Structure 1
Amino acid sequence: MDLAVFIVDLRELPEAARRYILYHTIACPLIFTWFMLPYYLLVTGLTVLEVGLLFTAVNLAAIGVTAVIGRFFTERDVRRGLVLIDLLGGISSILYGFASGPLASLIVFAGMLIEKISSPLYPLYQAYERSVYPRDRLKEALIWHLRLPELAIVVTYPIFGYLLGVLCPHPYCIRAAFLAFGMVSILLVPIQLAILPSVVPSKAEEEVVEEPRWLRLYVLAELVFTLAWSLAPTLSLVYYVVEVYEGGLLHIALIEVSISSATILATFIAERIERGEGHRVLQAGTLLTTLGIVGVVAAPSFPLLLLAFHIVRLGDALVFIFKRM
């Protein structure tokens, strides 16, 4: 695909869709903090059990608050929820930047709790997408929704990993990076308000159709995969890299680059597959994901680990695209 076709294809989407994709492209590199936090906790002396207990305590403490916030944004402007996600994420990152000394664990707990409060708002992303992505161009919109933000990760993560994993891997550099990421996240709030149109989702009646047998099997497989991912959070990946490969943030960044490059590859593959073949893509994608996970668990050499994660994400991204259509 040459540059002219690249630009034309993107311009065929509605302006609201293009702005939303642009917003994600700008914001996506900031989720590097998701890997920085467990890594910071591990390198500053906490055991994986202590970090796991901290994450569990935050989840329990946030149950009541998240339920209230999730109900509040029902049938309200979705953009406000997206703004709140970035605002809470920025505040939590800034708190992590001050997490040192005897009160470090308490500060981290407060930051994680603030960040966790935004978790019930994540479905608002899909609600916004349903409102701004045209139904007749949904596959193209989802392709660009994945392609550009993942390209931003491919460009930025090696820089973050090199800075914090090679040039300055010390805890004080990681804390400084938290402060920088937090301020950028808060600065995204006025950008969101400026470029994203307001969206209040309308209730639509859903058509009830008879489900084929293969769909039941897929739903069961999807439930199993959802449970598996919920049991393998970011902490597991970071601990795996640190303990098994004696790696740091650069190694983690390279894994994420491998994952993002697989997502980009999946978008080009999806462009050449007809929508009617979606059920076969779901089956093939699930198989690829399973094979890739087996490769990851086998603890191969680091280059082969990158390949295994690439295969996992290639299958997962294909499933994502055709599942949402």
Structure 2
Amino acid sequence: MKTIKICDVMTNSGVAFGTSGARGLVSQMTDEVCAAYALAFLSVVRLAFSTTRIALGMDLRPSSPRIVNACTQALREHGIEVDFCGALPTPALALYAQSECIPAIMVTGSHIPFDRNGIKFYRPDGEITKADEAAISTAVVEINRVRGDLPEINHVATDQFIRRYLDFFPPRHFAGLHLGIYEHSSVARDALHRILEGLGARVTSLGRTEEFVPIDTEAVAEADILRGKAWAEEYHFDAIISTDGDGDRPLISDETGAWLRGDMVGLICASYLKADKVVVPVSCNTAIELCGMFSTVLRTRIGSPYVIAGMQELDSGNDDKIVGFEANGGFLVGSGF
């Protein structure tokens, strides 16, 4: 066994917590570094939850299977059963973990460049907080073996995710709509097909690639702006749907192929859900306050952990309808809808 301090890992490797999860260059995310983070997360989550099983998932980056493997073997060495859910959207893994009351680790670099990757962590009750990040950063772990075979894939998480949307909306809710799916290398692309077609839409595939393409929903590339308009003119879509690499940030166009701002998509969703209280970072549009649809709008620092902390702050325990979202389109619910 080798004793490793996470603070030393952060200093020596450059892999550290950012706005969502630990991220770094693929060259810096060695097996040992990734295993250390997984075990540090395990040590922190065990302070609050009895943990014998952890769900693992990944995006479609070529480096992701290796990182999942390193995390898997390290967790197994410490007596953890790894529930490997394969390549799937981050929200699908988070939903599955919460429904099973187990923690989860998602290997994804989200929208960042190809030469980078990251690891997101979820407690049984949701994404880790800034306090959890601080505790992980000071953890000391013991590492032995970090190589071995991946478990068989459990497809229940993906199927549950798709069923959630088919059950939420009325049958054939999108009948009569022609929707494009800009697939690129989004891990959500096949699930989107099943959901939209299951709700009655006519779906056309666009731009699928087996090479990883980083899509930043907060700063859409000029090439994608032109693609959206060209596709809309060619196919006469009602809308074009896409996501970032791990499927937790939407990219949606109108019928002209113009991509909508993520915070405007969040505002539309909050209105549809009839939310009462909204939490957003300071980077979001002031239309959220000016629209007058919400009793409370709380602004936070940028990053989903801060938005989550704000949602917890607004929760009075009185059946509040609370949501949070970011300028990138990431959307969170703090109560049942």
- Give the alignment's TM-score, normalised by structure 1: 0.22
- Larger relative contact order (Cα-Cα within 8 Å, sequence gap ≥ 6): 1
Q: Give 1 or 2: higher strand fraction.
A: 2
Q: Give 1 or 2: higher helix fraction.
A: 1
